[in-house]
A and B are shown apart, each in its own frame.
Chain A
Amino acid sequence: MAKELETLFIQYFYKEARPIDFYIKKMKGYTASQAALKMSQDDVIAEVKKSNLRGRGGAGFPTGMKWGFIPKVSEKPKYIVCNADESEPGTFKDRDIMRYIPHLLIDGMIVAGHAIGAQVGYIYIRGEYVREAVLLNEAIEEAYARGYLGKNIFGTGFHFDLTVHRGAGAYICGEETALLNSLEGKRGEPRVKPPFPAQAGAFGGPTIVNNVETLASIPYIINRGGEWFSKLGKLDKSGGTRLFCISGHVKKPGLYELPAGGVTLRQLIYDHAQGILRDRKLKAVIPGGSSAPVLAPDEIDVVLDIEPLMKIGSMLGSAGVLVVSEEYCVVKLLRRITKFYAHESCGQCTPCREGCQWMEDILERIEHGKGREQDISLLLDVANNINGRTLCALGDAAAGPVTSFVKKFRADFEVHIRGGKCPSA
């Protein structure tokens, strides 16, 4: 049992791993696409279902099941879209996959394209990742030059074109229907669902949107089997490894690739990231990107996976763990988080557009000692009126931090209001 964990991604996070020849020689590159193209679509989907791979972008939806929603026959062309928007604060894993092992992603997208019957794929990458977009384009050119993309791939008669599409600075474009609008040349406003993308997505055609890490897991599932992948995970429903992103007040922030469901929050913070910066006391942890409800120090023995976190009222999201020590004011932090959602609200739904700004205003005055006694209940009231009342999850994402911070750190808010100033200012 002393065997070192084999990582799928992180062991290749260096620039020499980038060229296609490295991928082919050292990572069994493009054997997955070749093998998958010889399999039936149903068999590929069945293998992915067996793997217990769940979406790595935030929602955690089983990938194989998602692919199964695509209609077999469609009048309109189908599309496979990679969500490389990576906009959830605290998340920085997909960038390394794209800049170090772009071919793993391309390989995975060819498999996915075949599985759902799509001949066109797009990688929607956040606009700020300018260099990563260039590297992806170079990798795509390499794959075209070898005949792994384009017409009649590997002589199988399957055509597949892949294009990088850059976003232009909008958090909301991580939401899949906003992303599709942005791909179509529109404002990144989420759509009313249904229809879901699997019925009518990009350009009206059946579409699957998967996260970078999700798609980059696919070649391993084809090469080594769904069962092998599933067993990498430590909980029943969670297969594979996960790239945990840890940042904020820890001694060693960064990426840690560990078995899905195989690590507690405490282990990640204290064993892997080597504890709190300047050996201060832990104050708060946001376990799944800034949208995830905050946890108090006595809650960190939770296993970092979808169900365990859901059980204690938070979420794994994109596995972006933000650690806060006693050195930082939680009221100030929540004001900053709320400012983000107010800025990024697309404005379509009134509760979110008005509510986020209102919450920011209230938090701003509490932070600066100008809060009123009734402000805490007002804050919760506004949050409750946003939650569940919007087209997309941004509203819930803005409300969750507010309600959880107030619930877990109420005393800090009261000190600001009653003392008339921030005690740490």
Chain B
Amino acid sequence: MGKKILSKKFYNAMLKLEPRYPTRVALLLPALHAAQDELGWLSSEVMDEVAVFIGIHPAQVREVASFYTMYNLKPVGKYHLKFCTNVACCLRGGDELVEHCEKKLGIQCGQTTSDGKFTLMEEECLGACGTAPAMMLNQDYFENLNIPKLDQLLDGLE
């Protein structure tokens, strides 16, 4: 294997976490999170490197990574919009927010704008039903949204 893609910071964080678990495989979810935080998505090469680090077959990494929706198996935009459209949010206008966003950005859910700025996704329940409709922008929640608030937020993004 060639040069490592993941940083020293990644490896240090993992070494710190290792004594917290009785098995090495238990590091897989934290490792995938940390790798994605660093690179934005999980390429084949990154997953291979994680497999080597943990000491498992690369297929085992893919099998796990593909199970969970938060792991990006393809590149995402600088701003990753994830709209909840589950019960509470759809009752309070979550669907309209998604439609508005699709029109505004000229893409469908699941797509990324050609300039790589925005990725739009529909999410299952975010656990913010009391402040619906809600969405995640990268790692942050935005709640009690409406179209003017959403426009203001999106227009303010560089």
Contacts and interface: CB of A to CB of B under 8 A. Distances in A.
Interface in B57-110: 63-64, 67-71, 85-88, 90-92
Interface in B6-37: 17, 20-23, 25-30, 32-33
Given A89-B129, A246-B130, A253-B132, A344 B124 contact: yes
B129 A322 contact: yes
Contacts of B141: 131
B127 A91 contact: yes
Given A168-B71, A184-B23, A253 B127 contact: no
A168 B32 CA distance: 9
Nearest to A76: B22
Contact of A322 (B91, B124, B126, B139): B91
Contact of A129 (B26, B27, B127): B127
Interface string A169-188: 11100000000001111111
B150 interface: no
Contacts of A253: 88, 129-132
Q: Which of B22, B63, B85, B127 has the most CB of A within 10 A?
A: B127
A92 B87 contact: no
Contacts of A168: 29, 32-33, 68-71
Contacts of A333: 87, 90-91
A161 B20 contact: yes
B70 A336 contact: no
A170 B68 CA distance: 6
B54 to A, nearest CB: 8
A210 interface: no
Interface string B122-158: 0111111111100010011100000000000000000
A206 to B, nearest CB: 14
A406 B132 CA distance: 26
A248 B140 CA distance: 22
B20 to A, nearest CB: 4
B87 A185 contact: no
Nearest to B32: A168
A339 to B, nearest CB: 9
A253 B27 CA distance: 38
A131 B139 contact: yes
B69 A92 contact: no
Given A87-B127, A247-B132, A344-B124, A336 B85 contact: yes
A165 B86 contact: no
A161 to B, nearest CB: 7
Nearest to A96: B130
Interface of B: 17, 20-23, 25-30, 32-33, 54, 63-64, 67-71, 85-88, 90-92, 123-132, 136, 139-141
> What 7 pairs across the A-B complex have the smallest Cβ distances?
A168-B68, A185-B28, A169-B69, A169-B70, A247-B129, A185-B25, A89-B125
23 contacts: A87-B127, A88-B125, A94-B127, A126-B127, A127-B33, A128-B127, A130-B139, A131-B139, A167-B68, A170-B67, A171-B125, A185-B25, A185-B54, A185-B64, A246-B130, A247-B130, A248-B91, A253-B131, A290-B125, A322-B87, A322-B129, A336-B87, A340-B87
Interface of A: 77, 86-92, 94-95, 120, 126-131, 161, 163, 165-171, 182-188, 203, 245-249, 253-255, 286, 290, 320, 322, 324, 328, 333, 336-337, 340, 343-344, 346
